[in-house]
A and B are shown apart, each in its own frame.
Chain A
Amino acid sequence: MSDAVAPKKSWRPTRRQFLLGLGVGGVGALALGLPAMRLAVSRAVDEGLVPSSDPLDPTLWFEVLRDDRVRLHLPKVEMGQGIHTALAQIAAEELEVPWERLEVVHATTAHGPVDKQGTSGSMTVVGLYQPLRESAATLREMLRTEAARQLGVQASALVAAGGTLSVRDQPEKKLRYGEVVAKHTGTWEVPEHPPALKPAKDFQFIGKSMPRVDLEAKLTGQGVYGYDQRLPGMLYGATARPPRLGSTLRAAREGKARQQPGVVEVLMGSDFASVAAESREQAHAALAHLELEWTEGESLQQADVEARTTVKDGEGVLVQEEGDVPEHLGRGKQLSAEYRTPLAAHAHLEPQSALVEVKPERVRVWASTQMPGSIRKQVAKALERDEESVELVPTHLGGGFGRRLDAKAAIEAARLSRATGRPVHVGWTRAEEFRHGFFRPPTHHVLKASLEESGKVLAIEHQQASGDVIFSLMPGAVGAVMGADFGAWRGATIRYAMPHRRTLAQRVELPVPTATWRGLGLLANTFAVEGFMDELAHAAGEDPLAFRLKHLGDDELGRRFRRVLEAAAKQAGWGSAAPEGRARGIACSVDMNTVVAQVAEVSVESGRPRVHRFTCAVDCGLVINPDGATAQVEGGIMMALSSALSERITIKNGQVEAENFYDYPLLTMREAPEIDTLLVGEGDKPLGMGEPPMGPVAAAVANALFTLTGKRLRSLPLKL
């Protein structure tokens, strides 16, 4: 532990905590606050991993209920990545509670640890692994101390197991956690230092494929998502959308909207016009009766997007430099190539939604969002109220993929609820999602390399140009100061041990809103770098696997790359003949310190690429839940493959062309390959898992198609 000392703060249940306890069928509850947890989280924040809660708020992760259940309040949202299960495993491990007695809920901004950063970047398990273990162990020790007092024995005489503390050699003398809490009076003392943690050899939950904690609710149709939230007397809201990118309201009149069936309120501000009605259809139908004038907006065309997204030689910001590239790039055999990736949509299947109830004393917001803290702030601002009076209750998410960093639906619902005095639900349509959200930015890549006689790369350069990823979510000054968007160049640097290498990243400001998409720049950059690597292998007349292996360093990263490359190649039958009419391609990447290698097996059917099989070897360090990690590999590959083969957002006359899935088809089960996952990592810490497996997908497919057809595809989606 750091030199920070946990405050010896007595802890009393707040009203909200008390309510939560009473909500469980009248079972009394007692919650335990853990300032130590807060400190641990702050430490992690210093390392840039997870945010801290406001130090003045009581922080609350666990509730021990009198009926022996333990409720874990998690500040990170579940969007399908399985983190609630992984975090429950980590907590159960140190807390020594039976699996079925642990209950997981989303923390709200009024109860439980507050998360101001959001859930993104494959960082949840990485960031919370250590703090959560420490917190759970601390709680276990607090229970042990109290049980010892109640039983009149030494704390060291007690054994914690299965949610019970029993006296060693006198197993009949014992107390269940719920009993300890029920008999306790007064305040709880939080120890200054977390106790020693369990050695890995004693793990019972970490490393096991525990079943997901949230699946039964999801398979029986329970209303756990933002779109499902309901309250008595609620209304539905809809908001008018501009006809083109960049166009804003010049003038707005109610027209006949208020007279339309079911309409309760028409609300207009300087930059919006919304309707609240008794039904969702009525709210949307009434929009057509508003009289709105919009400014002209953009006249952008697809060709402009591509022309603007073009590398200007030497103008990027240097984000990697080893050796002397300009000096060596002109020597030996020279190669260069250009790659492109298009705008892409998230297409999360549940469009964004929120239910808001504005009351004079407080506001409650139920929203499917990756950023509860920031959405709370935005809602408070829109309502001109104090943030403390706004409670944000995160729901489960029907997919996130980086799209749910904003939640305009919550602001739209909040305004309408304030105006009508009734709860209002806003759920976006698919067309609103396609046309009025933000996108993965388009990219352009110029790669150059020089090859020595020996077939080794002497120098390599990657110049990339991309629309904004992280800059668009930050104050303007950040972009000006930093120059290159670290989200856009994620995955762009050359990780092979080539003597002279550099990467330049160039910012492209586009009138199309672009930001985070699962993996940020990872898929696009890896497509370019690993596609080019394959070109170099063929130019050198070498096997693409052998060529990669011989360019690995003999440091730790090089060894980890070697392990995943060899594992994937062996499993996929690399080196043996592919089945008739098929070929294989290989690619690899490192992201969030997780190393991934993949082999794609492809054919061509009716002139289109068909992917039959993906083999993926991953080293993501300590695996908390192997089945969960495997699911992330499968899901990541499928999403990246859909992007590689099918998806492209285009702009026409200043508007996004796609309106629904008929313009933007996703891959279906028909196109889904078999996926073979090998978890080959080791280590005592978990690494990122939500995004890294997407990295090599497009490159592996393009590389396989080259072997099969002799045609090098350098832009997505891949078309022969």
Chain B
Amino acid sequence: MKLTINDREYEVPEENPHRVLLWVLRDELGLVGTRFGCGAGICGACTIHVNGVATRACLTPVSTLAGARIRTVEGLSTPGPDGQPQLHPVQRAFLDVQVPQCGWCMSGQMMSAAALLERNPSPTPDQVVEAMQNNYCRCGTYCRIKKAVLSAAQQLAQETKPLTQETKP
């Protein structure tokens, strides 16, 4: 079957459609940026987007993903004009705030944050907590994650403002 991941098509074998996306990504397709922490939907390390919605790759059978748009941390940045990857505003904010310690939870954290900002570009601190409370960070970077998500939201607001003005009739 075909999977569409980060705007690219991947062919994965049909047999055993029950296997979950996490291991297909990591072990079969080499997209190791999506991490494993519990395999039970609790820690959030494996968070990816399915059609823009934050989803646990460890609980998602590939058979349910035909025709879906899958986005992983590898597709969070976009190719810039010079061919160099341009970091997503969430990635930039996580870098500016120097959020990660060990970093293992970070792909999941950023995917949860990016999904939040896509549906709610200017969340309140409480809404950030609401959206991020199912992502564990054992290194304890929660204050910084919160700060970074709020700052990414501000950044996004600034970047899109001129655009909206231009498109005004």
Contact = CB atoms under 8 A, between A and B. Distances in A.
Given A215-B98, A661-B40, A221 B23 contact: no
Interface stretch (B114-122, B142-150, B152-160, B161-169): B142-150
Contact of B140 (A214, A280, A636, A661): A636
Nearest to B103: A218
Interface string B75-101: 011000000010100010011001011
Interface string B1-44: 00000000000000010010001001110111111111110110
Nearest to B94: A219
Given A221-B74, A350-B35, A662-B42, A668 B142 contact: yes
Interface string A644-665: 0000000000000000111000
A474 to B, nearest CB: 27
Interface in A633-681: 634-639, 642, 660-662, 666, 668-670, 672, 674-675
A79 B40 CA distance: 24
B70 interface: no
B110 interface: yes
Given A429-B39, A631-B98, A668 B139 contact: no
A638 B142 contact: yes
A347 interface: yes
B138 A349 contact: yes
Contact of B102 (A221, A397, A427, A672): A397
Given A280-B23, A430-B38, A661-B42, A219 B101 contact: no
Given A218-B103, A221-B74, A236-B27, A661 B43 contact: yes
A338 interface: no
Contact of A221 (B34, B101, B105, B140): B34
A218 B100 CA distance: 8
Nearest to B37: A349
A660 B40 CA distance: 8
B132 interface: yes
B134 interface: yes
A219 B148 CA distance: 13
- Residue among A225, A236, A636 with the highest chain B CB neighbour number at 10 A: A225
Nearest to A348: B138
A669 B134 CA distance: 8
A305 to B, nearest CB: 24
Nearest to A234: B27
A162 B134 CA distance: 46
A399 B30 contact: no
B42 A80 contact: no
B101 A669 contact: no
Nearest to A78: B102
Given A212-B98, A351-B36, A230 B133 contact: no
Contact of B33 (A80, A220, A674): A220
B142 A222 contact: no
A662 B39 CA distance: 11
Range, interface on chain A: 35 or more
Contacts of A209: 98
B134 A634 contact: no
- Residue among B77, B134, B141, B145 with the highest chain A CB neighbour number at 10 A: B141
Contacts of B98: 209, 211-212, 215, 627, 631
A45 B60 CA distance: 51
A228 interface: yes
Nearest to A224: B103
B contact patch SS? loop
B151 interface: no
A462 B89 CA distance: 53
Contacts of A216: 95
Contacts of B107: 221
B134 to A, nearest CB: 7
A360 to B, nearest CB: 27
B23 A279 contact: yes
- Residue among B26, B95, B129, B139 with the highest chain A CB neighbour number at 10 A: B139
Contact of A219 (B36, B100, B144): B100
A660 B133 contact: no
A396 interface: yes
Contacts of A228: 26, 32
A511 interface: no
B90 to A, nearest CB: 9
B36 A427 contact: yes
Nearest to B110: A219
A661 B138 contact: no
B138 A639 contact: yes
Contacts of B135: 668-669
A223 interface: yes
A222 B104 CA distance: 11
A220 B79 CA distance: 13
A64 to B, nearest CB: 26
A221 B32 contact: yes
Interface in B49-72: 72
Contact of A281 (B23, B32, B35): B23
A526 B42 CA distance: 31
A399 B73 contact: no
Contacts of B137: 349, 638, 669
A668 B33 contact: no
Contacts of A636: 140
A561 interface: no
A437 interface: no
Contacts of B73: 220-221
A219 B136 contact: no
A635 B133 CA distance: 17
B100 A215 contact: yes
Contacts of A634: 140-141, 143-144
Contacts of A669: 128-129, 132-133, 135, 137, 142, 145-146
Given A261-B16, A349-B138, A398-B104, 4 more contacts: A215-B100, A396-B102, A661-B42, A668-B135
Interface of A: 79-82, 209, 211-212, 214-216, 218-223, 225, 227-228, 230, 236, 261, 279-281, 347-351, 396-401, 427, 429-430, 627, 631, 634-639, 642, 660-662, 666, 668-670, 672, 674-675
Can you list the 3 inter-chain pairs with the closest CB atoms, starting with the nearest? A221-B33, A638-B140, A398-B104
15 contacts: A79-B102, A221-B31, A221-B33, A221-B72, A221-B76, A225-B104, A227-B26, A227-B35, A348-B138, A349-B105, A430-B39, A660-B38, A660-B40, A666-B136, A666-B138
Interface of B: 16, 19, 23, 26-28, 30-40, 42-43, 45, 72-74, 76-77, 85, 87, 91, 94-95, 98, 100-107, 110, 128-129, 132-146
